[in-house]
């Protein structure tokens, strides 16, 4: 029964490219036009066939992790490219669309990011082991989208360029008080303190990240300029000249966008500038991927621009600038995967094959989402005054000949 159901689903879904599937009984069927990307998979267990029919998005990743979905040459990228390009046609079963809509409606209640839940969700992903992240991140442990001014540049240089790009948008001067919401392992805060003379307060909900950030500050002799804390941003009540938040908004959740931007507005000085860097969707709002939610980022959600705009508008903040970085994160994730694979023998000393398949699926699925779907990175530059930054972006680039600085109306 379930084989027939899956067969009908694949006939309906796969129109472009080619997908060859060998079922547990040994029968092989081919789907698609044959032109374009292709993949060859084998299903070894009837339970996997049933699960793919009932919850295709979740069980796809789980079956790969369990080894019951095997891909020729382990070409997960090729398989995902076939699936995503066909899924873009929106020619998917009515029941699947209804199920996705139901999950979207329910997710705000099921995964409400209260203060207690937020700390639990952060610990799930970030407190597993710093050693794992050191294997594939750059030396500064930037676990967010790099900025490739040249596609051929190294990951190290692209992460340095990302921090410099953000610092330029913040217009930091020595002695300024800077808040880093979701400071991670401290790389951004330490850079702003060391290279720009800022006094940085960084807050995180990860005990591992906090310990690393404090240790790095001590080693760099920056303890006097930095104050890293285990604290929810909602509990802050100080004023700051600048606020930066990189890769944290994805963990806030739809019901809390208003609270988040209101808090940024409250904490930001009247003449201050905030830079919010987040993964975002250029498509209408939809449910978060089930597999990612269960295994990687519980409580996480990629916001659509239409969900963030009302919260920003109601906060009273000016949208000084909005930049959309498109394929930068795809390139970043490809670097991470290459580095992870290069260290696979070391990874196997601590983690089993199921974990390794999970982590590889996570990295590949993410960069494929940026390459094949409507996902990008947003950088919101916000302030209370529309004169807080120069009138054009010329000041961000070394080749700019002139910077036009706005003057407040007399």
pLDDT digits 0-9 by tens, 54-67: 999 999 999 999 99
Per cent of the chain over pLDDT 90 is: 81
Angle value at C-alpha 132, between 66 and 63, nearest 5 degrees: 10
Query: pLDDT band at residue 104, thresholds of 50, 70 and 90?
Result: very low
- Distance between CA atoms of residues 91 and 102, nearest Å: 18
- The percentage of the chain sitting over the pLDDT mark of 70, rounded to a whole number, equals 87
pLDDT at res. 1:
87
pLDDT at residue 277, as a whole number = 98
One domain for residues 240 and 368: yes
Residue 62 and residue 119 in one domain:
no
Mean pLDDT of all residues belonging to the chain: 90
Domain assignment of residue 402, yes or no: no
Judgement on whether residues 46 and 121 belong to the same structural domain of the protein: no
Question: Residue 38's pLDDT is what?
Answer: 92
- What integer is the mean pLDDT of 18-32? 96
Q: Count up the domains in the chain and report the number.
A: 2
Instruction: Give the model's pLDDT for residue 87.
Output: 85
Instruction: Give the residue-averaged pLDDT of 352-373.
Output: 96
**Residue numbers of the domain that contains 33:** 2-92
- The answer to whether residue 405 sits within a structural domain is no
Looking at the fold, whether 175 and 34 belong to one and the same domain comes out as no
With beta carbons less than 8 A apart as the criterion, state whether 311 and 261 touch: yes
CB 247 within 8 A of CB 277: yes
CA distances from 236 to 177, 180, 204, 229 (A): 14, 12, 12, 11
**Residue 97: band (very low, low, confident or very high) from pLDDT cuts 50, 70, 90:** low
Model confidence pLDDT, tens digit, residues 234-252:
999 999 999 999 999 999 9
The arithmetic mean of pLDDT across residues 360-365, rounded, is 97
Domain end among 92, 124, 148: 92
- What's the pLDDT at 91? 53
Q: Taking 50 as the threshold, does the pLDDT of residue 367 lie above it?
A: yes
Between CA 266 and CA 403 the distance in angstroms is 29
The answer on pLDDT for 372 being more than 90 is yes
Annotated catalytic residue: which of 145, 183, 366, 404? 366
Residues 301 and 361 in one domain: yes
Q: Which residues pair with 177 in a beta bridge?
A: 199
Catalytic annotation present for 404 = no
Per DSSP, 350 falls in state T
User: Is 52 a residue whose pLDDT tops 90?
Assistant: yes
Position 93 pLDDT exceeds 70: no
Domain annotation covers residue 362: yes
- Supply the pLDDT for residue 88: 72
Say what the pLDDT of residue 34 is.
83
Reported residue count of the chain is 410
pLDDT digits (tens, 9 = 90+) for 259-314: 999 999 999 999 999 999 999 999 999 888 899 999 998 888 999 999 999 999 99
Helix (H) or strand (E) holding 21: strand 18-22
Per-residue model confidence (pLDDT) at position 35: 82
Residue 102 lies in a domain: no
Decide if 330 is inside a domain.
yes
Q: In this predicted model, what pLDDT tens digit does every residue of 341-362 receive, in sequence order?
A: 999 999 999 999 999 999 999 9
């Amino acid at each position: 029964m379930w084989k027939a159901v899956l067969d009908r689903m694949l006939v309906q879904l796969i129109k472009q490219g080619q997908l060859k599937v060998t079922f547990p009984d040994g029968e092989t069927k081919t789907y698609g036009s044959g032109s374009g990307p292709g993949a060859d998979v084998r299903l070894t267990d009837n339970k996997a066939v049933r699960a793919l029919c009932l919850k295709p998005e979740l069980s796809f990743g789980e079956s790969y992790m369990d080894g019951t979905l095997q891909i020729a040459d382990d070409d997960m990228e090729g398989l995902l490219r076939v699936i995503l390009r066909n899924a873009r046609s929106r020619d998917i079963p009515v029941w699947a669309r209804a199920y996705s809509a139901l999950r979207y409606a329910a997710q705000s209640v099921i995964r409400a990011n209260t203060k207690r839940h937020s700390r639990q969700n952060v610990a799930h992903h970030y407190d597993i082991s710093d050693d794992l992240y050191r294997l594939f991140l750059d030396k500064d442990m930037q676990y967010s989208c790099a900025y490739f001014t040249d596609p051929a540049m190294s990951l190290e240089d692209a992460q340095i360029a990302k921090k410099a790009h953000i610092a330029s948008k913040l217009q930091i001067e020595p002695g300024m008080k800077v808040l880093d919401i979701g400071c991670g392992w401290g790389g951004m805060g330490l850079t702003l303190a060391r290279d720009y003379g800022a006094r940085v307060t960084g807050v995180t909900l990860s005990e591992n990240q906090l310990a690393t950030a404090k240790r790095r500050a001590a080693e760099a002799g920056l303890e006097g300029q930095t104050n890293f804390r285990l604290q929810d941003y909602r509990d802050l009540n100080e004023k700051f000249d600048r606020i930066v938040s990189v890769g944290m908004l994805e963990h806030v959740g739809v019901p809390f966008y208003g609270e988040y931007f209101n808090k940024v507005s409250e904490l930001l000085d009247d003449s201050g500038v905030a830079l919010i860097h987040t993964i975002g969707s250029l498509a209408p709002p939809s449910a978060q991927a089930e597999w990612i939610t269960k295994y990687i980022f519980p409580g996480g959600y990629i916001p659509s621009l239409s969900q963030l705009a009302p919260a920003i508008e109601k906060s009273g903040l000016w949208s000084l600038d909005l930049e959309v970085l498109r394929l930068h994160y795809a390139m970043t994730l490809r670097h991470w995967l290459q580095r992870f694979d290069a260290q696979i023998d070391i990874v196997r000393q601590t983690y089993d094959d199921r974990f390794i398949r999970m982590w590889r699926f996570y990295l590949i699925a993410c960069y494929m989402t940026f390459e094949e779907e409507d996902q990008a990175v947003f950088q919101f530059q916000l302030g209370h005054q529309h004169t807080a930054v120069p009138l054009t972006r010329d000041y961000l680039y070394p080749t700019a000949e002139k910077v036009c600085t706005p003057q407040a109306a007399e």
